[in-house]
Structure 1
Amino acid sequence: MTVDVVDAKGQTSPDGTMSLVDYWEKVLNDTWGAAFNQLPYKTCFKLELKVNLKERGDGFDAKKGNHRIIVGAASGGSFEGTGFEGSSETTRNSKTGDGTRSFENDRDGAIPVDAPPTVVAHEFGHLFGLGDDRKNGAPKTGRDGTMMVGGVAGVDVNVVQKIDQNLIDRIGEAVRKHLENQGKKLPKCDTWKGPISSTYTNVTPCMGSDQGTITVGVVGKDASGTVAVSGSYTCTTELFTVTGAGTVTFGVTGTFTGDEFRLLWEPPFVTTGDGPSAYCGAIPERPIVVPVTERGTAQASFEHAITGGQFTCEITLERQSDDEPVG
């Protein structure tokens, strides 16, 4: 989508280090772009951030086919007047407020020049088809701390809120509904899922292991998905023992020929706790080949040497169903 940013010429980011349009582009790449890269819709479909921000002068008139955002004066933290005008839409989800209006209309909105990243990302979430995740001045159940909660008590707008799978799936649903309204459908989607595990040994000596799930969606020959693992490690010497535990999630892209998967891990590697190190994820940037061993099952086991040690990784993928086209 193309967005005319009116009165952006000569305006800079809140910290003055870059132009306002460059700042907004960075915010969108760091938030929605990163989430799209890691969290596919319905396992199979990787959303892509394509927002073209046009720096316009004061008083620039609306241009057909473009959204328009007017840069407001510094709000001092109140952010009054921020948001978009209402628009009609063919399809609306009454529970979430999500809909197809931004795909069907050229929308007008306003964002103040001093808006922090969470405010900028939240408002663009509306352009992606999302409604607000708040009700009666409070976050909806299960949505506290996520990007589309918006202005409720207790939300620190200077802390970037989370973009989770729920938001990605809702954007995907809005896109799907928009396609259906045009008589189109998303292509056939096959889901493969199974365990991924690894063990690690080091001369220190250190030992560790992690276990989790790899989920891959296949559309045609394209494969994409996610890996989520949890695990722990222990390092022991004559003087001390160090232990740690945690979780890691990261993305997957690649191809599927019908006979084998060729997969690449995709950053960012999002961690909690102080480990594990996602040992399978430490493979160099080369395709990981997971051959089909029998109908509906693909498996691979391999070892890889790293400085001071080695790890063993095992992957199993099982086809979940012969899905009909999504929708």
Structure 2
Amino acid sequence: MQGLSAFGNGIYAVDSGYTGPDVAAIHLIEEGGRAALVDTGNNDALVHVEQALAETGLSPEAVDLVLLTHIHLDHAGGAGAFMQAFPNAKLVVHPRGARHMAEPSKLFAGVSAVYGPERAKELYGELIPVPAERIVEATEGLELNLAGRVIRVFDTPGHARHHVCYFDTKSRSFFTGDTFGLSYRALDVAGRPSIFPTTTPVQFEPEAMHASVARMEAEEPAAMYLTHYAQVTDVPRLAADLHRLIDAHVAVAERHAAVVEGRKALIEADLWKLVDEESARQGWTLPQAEVRKLLALDVELNAQGLDVWLGAR
């Protein structure tokens, strides 16, 4: 089966298989024979989640909650398929995203504008609408009950205005989607992870991202569970690096603020310089060519996000 990792406290990561191994995790939380899933990957991820449920002794009927951190399709593209497969589940999503889960055509059109229609179709297939009566709006402070285990909603803009993070009170850990950046295990050095921000193509707001990271830091969490990729600890160090790198991304963008033609390409070139600097700082052992391959899509989308942010200021 696709990679399944256990972290204790009933928390597991299922490798969704999205674009390759160890790129996008779906998190499974088990409590008292009931289950919650955090993010869904795309439609192709469903079979891996079904296998993970079977591996952990849970039935499809045991899934009570499907928790979306936000509605970018590497996190939410499989939501409709998941809701069909898990008949007792409620879909929890930011109020700004709820209507797009019930009627996903505009969402797919937006993704097609980013990736192109053919690539979008290849990545995500057909988006299945979710019945409105099965959708719960993830408002700030909402407390969700999983067999007595309380999961609290934090409204966390910065990557997107429709982004929330989920705080699991039992493990004192956050499920962070993209707000706490990405941390690929291939870049770990002797088990020491690195972090890198993800700006999103259209709604990057650096001050909001700083504030969202600081809010989570204030809870003194034991761990963060990132969609890209899974558990990281040593949260104070990683949060400090994330704040530094958010500012570095802003500095790259502002360097090219006056450029009219070809600005995104200039930003992207400077982001690769930033990646190389971070590789040296963190002592990454992965060869540069492999780093470029691993981060290619992320750097391209970050450049796009910074370019759009400059234009919207």
Taking structure 1 as the reference length, the TM-score comes to: 0.26
Q: Which of these two proteins has the greater Rg computed from alpha carbons?
A: 1
User: Whose strand fraction is larger, Structure 1's or Structure 2's?
Assistant: 1
User: Whose helix fraction is larger, Structure 1's or Structure 2's?
Assistant: 2
Taking structure 2 as the reference length, the TM-score comes to: 0.27
